[in-house]
Amino acid sequence: MSDNQRIHLRLRQEEDYRCTLAFDDGVPPLTADEPPPLGQGQGPSPVQLLLAAVSNCLTDSLLFALRKFKQDAEPLSAHAIAEVGRNAENRLRVVGIEVDLSLGKPAAEMQHIPRILDQFEAFCTVSQSVAAGIPIRLRVFDRDGQLLKGE
């Protein structure tokens, strides 16, 4: 028996670079658009959607790991940056992603933090897939700004 799952998306161009993204599982449709001068910036761009997917998946994986060990660190937050540059053919590419995750509580108030931080990233479907082609730098901080993972 296969564990493979298929996620469906229907994309419809509305006008110029603005598209409606519709998902088959009842999720409300989303508008995506390129920023000016190509589009009108009426929704997140494909690069922003990629950045959101990576940082959201990492946050979800950390939350799952914290809850597995019955640790309340909520609310979690993330700040992410996508670096866009030119490749050898002078084409724009996402050349790196930086994600800073922050716990909502001091690490000193929680147990099992080293163990949680050692394993949660490996369970993030999106970041592990993207990292095969784009370097991802991850850091995790507690509420007081103490660096818990990364450099």
105-149 pLDDT per residue, tens = 999 999 999 999 999 999 999 999 999 999 999 999 999 999 999
Tell me, what's the pLDDT at 25?
A: 81
Q: Are strands 77-86 and 30-32 parallel, antiparallel or unpaired?
A: unpaired
List, in sequence order, every residue forming a beta bridge with 18; answer none if it has no partner: 15
Domain ranges of the chain: 1-44, 46-149
What pTM was estimated for this model as a whole? 0.92
Tell me, what's the pLDDT at 1?
A: 55
CB 25 within 8 A of CB 18: no
Residue 83 CB contacts under 8 Å (≥ 6 apart), including other chains: 94, 95, 96, 97, 98
Residue range 46-149, CATH number? 3.30.300.20
- How far is it, in rounded angstroms, from Cα 44 to Cα 50? 10
